[in-house]
Amino acid sequence: MLGFYTELGPYNFKYNKGDVKNRGIFTENKSAWNNNAHVLFIDQPLGTGFSFANSVFDHRINEHQVSLDFFNFLINFYNKYPEFKHRELYLAGESFAGHYIPAIANFLHATKIKIVRPDGIMIGNGWVDPFY
């Protein structure tokens, strides 16, 4: 939510330390991504962020599982909303997504089903150490 409110979304959140009753102030973000693109936030992998798993055995433990889940999500998304099929697709993430975004992009590029092709990837502050 911090990234949504302070980096990407339609509003900026400013902490108002001078007013105990109104600690937060929302202001319009004139540089918001949604001014020029459709933005969809996905908690990935299963069990992180606001997503949940029914048991510990449902958690994803490697990039292939994460990539397959994301691929299945995109297939279902495009089936439900075909009007977005022909729009550019950029995959973005930060921090540990430095592992997941390249893996997902590689999976989408290598799959025989050519419905989904990313036009590019973005990784901010990526944790890409191959030993973790």
Over residues 14-58, the pLDDT tens digits come to 888 888 888 888 888 888 887 888 888 888 888 787 888 888 888
**pLDDT(114) > 80:** no
State the helix-helix crossing angle for 63-80 and 97-110, rounded to 10 degrees: 60
Name the DSSP letter for residue 102.
H
- Report, as an integer, the average pLDDT of 83-111: 89
Q: Determine what percent of the chain is predicted with pLDDT higher than 70.
A: 93
Same domain, 62 and 107: yes
How far CA 131 is from CA of 12, 44, 69, 94, 128, in Å, comes to 36, 20, 23, 18, 9
How many separate domains does the chain show?
Answer: 2
Supply the range of the domain harboring residue 49.
40-132
Looking at the structure, do residues 50 and 102 belong to the same domain, yes or no? yes
CB-count burial class (<10 Å; 0-12, 13-18, 19+) for 39: middle
My answer on whether 2 and 46 are in the same domain is no
Are 49 and 73 in the same domain?
yes
Output 22 or 119, whichever has higher pLDDT: 119
Determine the length of the chain.
132
Are residues 34 and 68 located together in one domain of the fold?
Answer: no
- 64 and 54 housed in the same domain: yes
**Do 18 and 60 share a domain, yes or no?**
no
pTM attached to this predicted model: 0.77
- Give yes or no: residues 65 and 121 share one domain: yes
Q: What is the DSSP string of 46-88?
A: TTSTT---SSGGGS--SHHHHHHHHHHHHHHHHHH-GGGTTS-
